[in-house]
Structure 1
Amino acid sequence: MTVSWSALAERLTGLQPVPEPTVVAILGVVALACVVLAWPVTRMVVTVAHEAGHAIVALLAGRRLTGIRLHSDTSGLTVSRGRPQGPGMVATLLAGYPAPALMGLGAAWLLASGRALLVMALLVVVMAGMLLMIRNLFGLLVVVIGTTLVGLTAWYLQPVHQSWIAYFLTWVLLLAAPRPVVELARQRSRTSDPAQLARLTGVPGGIWILLFGTVTVGSLIAGLGVLAPGVLRWG
């Protein structure tokens, strides 16, 4: 089966049904259960988004991306070349922890206007780009599985089910993003993002952790207001 570029563009920019508020709430509860009960899996989703954030900002800052690794302990590493100091390096280090939350918030805004298929298409594009830079077998396996599952969902499922999957993934990103920041606050690693930012800028690592927490929690609250506005209404 062949599909023209114009037909593909029309499909991607088309609208999918926005689920009923009850369905959105149920998907949020299921996502929260996954964050609590299946953390190693949801933590890997967050890690993929985290490393994608580093990689995208590194490229935007004019750095040369040399590799991405994803490890079985759910950690990751993105390596880029360029000036070891300066705004580009700071922006690259700064991008990781906020990335899952900001991706989730952006997806929430698209979903509110019925763009579920576009959300999944953007996820596929990001992961497909990561495939070119993955430098270890486990990371390759994770990204291939993720790209395949989201791609098959976008291509074969009915629009209503595409919306459900897109809402679920968005909830996962929003709900899971703050947890790694909490874990980070308990660590004393000299190689962590805030530790490196502290050495580069002179701003204490705790301030950077506070910033990460503010962005992730703020994005969760904003995303909640977009996906389930009734929850935030008082009176």
Structure 2
Amino acid sequence: MPLDGLLTLWRRATAVQPVPEPGVVLLLGLVALTLVVAPATWRHVRLPVTMVHEAGHAVAAVLVGRRLTGIRLHSDTSGLTVSRGRPRGPGMVLMLAAGYLAPALVGLGAALLLAAGRSLGVLWLFVVLLALMLLHVRNGYGLLVLLLAVGAMSAVSWYLEPTAQSWIAYLIVWILLLAAPKPVLELFAGRRRGARGSDPDQLARLTRVPAVLWMVLFLLANLAGLMVGTLTLLPVLA
């Protein structure tokens, strides 16, 4: 891309846009809540949450010095991130813990940007995140999903009006914040049915801290992220 094009893209991505009225932000939050709670829509909403979950594993793996070897996204909305390195130690613990914390952390960080009027910047950051995942995806379904997501997010970021871009950015961030606790609650339900092998189970083997305690910690952290994110997006509630 020519230098002028890069400069134009940078100016667009860093431009400050008006923050929507609180009523609009609340309405978008209610729409996101419906999408997360309704069984008919949760299956579709869960896939982007899984993308962020796996991105969390991948970023943490790179930060602690592990070698990222692949990301897989499956049609049942599950995912897998594989990295090589020491099988034990703080780095492995951090990498495993990052997945269930990532949606709330990304949602909270994006909420801070939205509150500062950087809604278009949030959309472009998501484009960059998805594009980086594309470099490491290792299965056909994951490749297709990420290509569609990058294309859709790029089109929204480039062609839509600022108001529509802002609304979509708010809706995505609301979904991440509201959806973050739900996969943890699904872990509790799966555990009652005898399911094992999850991230908390692996953490329990590494740290001798019971898996249920890890699940409680993840749930509390996600609920805290939701609370702080809500107050960030709707400061009138404070």
TM-score per shorter chain, which class?
Answer: over 0.9
Q: What residue is the counterpart of 2:173 in the other structure?
A: 170
Distance 2:8 2:133 in 1: 26
Matched, 1:23 2:7: no
Query: Partner residue of 2:139?
Result: 136
Specify the alignment match of 2:201 in structure 1.
195
RMSD: 1.3
Aligned mate of 2:83, from 80, 84, 87: 80
Alignment counterpart, residue 214 of structure 2, candidates 208, 212, 215: 208
State how far apart, in whole Å, the 2-side matches of 1:152 and 1:7 are: 16
Mapped partners of 1:5, 1:78: distance in 2 = 32
Alignment gaps of 5+ in structure 1: none
**Separation in 1, partners of 2:34, 2:196:** 32
Aligned pair count?
232
Normalised by the length of structure 2, the TM-score is 0.94
SS at match of 2:201: helix
Separation in 1 of the partners of 2:180 and 2:13?
27
186-195 or 218-227: bigger deviation? 186-195
**Aligned match of 1:117:** 120
Q: Which amino acid aligns with 1:17?
A: P
Tell me whether 1:42 sits opposite 2:45 in the alignment. Answer: yes
Q: Determine the C-alpha separation between the residues in 2 that align with 1:25 and 1:187.
A: 32
Deviation beyond 3 Å, 4+ runs, structure 1: none
> Gaps spanning 5+ residues in structure 2: where?
none
TM-score, L = length of structure 1: 0.95
Question: d(CA) in 2 for partners of 1:162 and 1:132?
Answer: 26
Conserved 8 A contact 1:101-1:220: yes
Aligned AA (1:219): G
Superposed displacement of residue 228, structure 1: 1.2
Question: Contact 1:68/1:79 (CA < 8 Å) preserved in 2?
Answer: yes
